[in-house]
Copies of this chain bind each other. A is one copy, B any other.
Amino acid sequence: MADKGLIVSVSGPSGVGKGTVLKRVSEMIEQKWPGRASYSISATTRNPRPGETDGVEYHFRTKEEFEEMIRTGEIIEYDQYVGNYYGTPAAPLAEKVSQGKIVLCDITIEGSLAIEKKFGVDSVIIMLLPPSYAELEARLKGRGTEDDAKVSARLAKAREEIARAGEFEYAVQNNEVEQAAADIMKIIESEMLKTARQIQTIKNLE
C-alpha cells in the first residue's frame, strides 16, 4: 500500500443519500486503515456559530479572502446562500492527500469534475444513483420538508444530473447504505492498486 492519500468525490441527486453513505464509508476506511479517513471541509464567509472552530466545521474566511480565492482558482466550486459564499478550497485537499488521508467529498457534479481535472490520479469521482426514480421520489417525500412542487422540481433536476453519469468514472447504486458503502470501498481499494500509486512498492522489491 502506497502512503499517498486519495480524494473520493461523490455527487448525485438530492435525496440519494450521499451523506449517510459517506458516513458509513468513513467508518469502513477507519476500520481498514485507522487514522486515514477524512472529510473535505468547506470554506464560508458566514460567521462562526458558538462552538465552531476554524478548520473544523468550516474554514472561515472574509468576503475579500473568499473572492481572492475564487480569483486565484483556489476555490474548486462555490455557491452563494443567504448572502454568504460556501465553497471547496483546493489547498486543504492537497495537504490531506500528501498526509495519506482518504478524503471524502460530498459535492456537486461540477465540483467532482473540477476535482478530477485538478487532482488526476489522486482523485476518483463517483456518481451515487438511487434504486429507481420512484424510490427517489418516495425518499424526497418522506423527508416531509418539501411540498409536491418542490419534490417534482428535485426529481426533474435528478434526471438531468443522472443523464451526466457518463462524465463520471464510476456509478454506484444506493439500494442499501451497507451495499453502497461497500461498493465505494471496493473502488477505493482498487484505486490503491493502480500502478501510479505503487512506485514505492516496486522500489521495495529490491
Beta-carbon nearest neighbor of A167 in chain B: B195
Q: Which of A17-25, A37-45, A56-64, A184-192 contacts B (4 or more CB under 8 A)?
A: A184-192
Q: Please judge, given known A-B contacts A165-B195, A190-B186, whether A202 and B170 are in contact too, CB under 8 Å.
A: no
A130 adjacent to chain B (CB < 8 Å): yes
Interface residues on A, range: 20 to 34
A76 adjacent to chain B (CB < 8 Å): no
Within the assembled complex, what's the spacing in Å between the Cα atoms of A10 and B80? 49
Tell me the minimal C-beta distance from A135 to chain B in angstroms.
Answer: 9
B195 touches A169 (CB 8 A): yes
A171 touches B189 (CB 8 A): no
B193 touches A172 (CB 8 A): yes
Q: Please judge, given known A-B contacts A186-B190, A195-B127, whether A202 and B165 are in contact too, CB under 8 Å.
A: yes
Q: Within residues 180 to 206 of chain A, which ones have a CB less than 8 A from any CB in chain B?
A: 183, 186-187, 189-191, 193-196, 198, 201-202, 204-206
Indicate how many identical chains form the complex.
2
Within the assembled complex, what's the spacing in Å between the Cα atoms of A166 and B199? 8
> What's the dominant secondary structure at chain A's contact region?
mixed
A103 adjacent to chain B (CB < 8 Å): no
Q: Which residues of B contact A162 (CB under 8 A)?
A: 202, 205
Interface positions of A (Cβ within 8 A of B): 127, 129-133, 162, 165-166, 168-173, 183, 186-187, 189-191, 193-196, 198, 201-202, 204-206
A-B contact pairs, 21 of them (CB 8 A): A129-B202, A129-B205, A131-B205, A133-B206, A162-B205, A166-B195, A166-B196, A168-B195, A170-B190, A170-B193, A170-B195, A171-B193, A171-B195, A171-B198, A171-B201, A171-B202, A183-B189, A186-B189, A186-B190, A187-B193, A189-B190
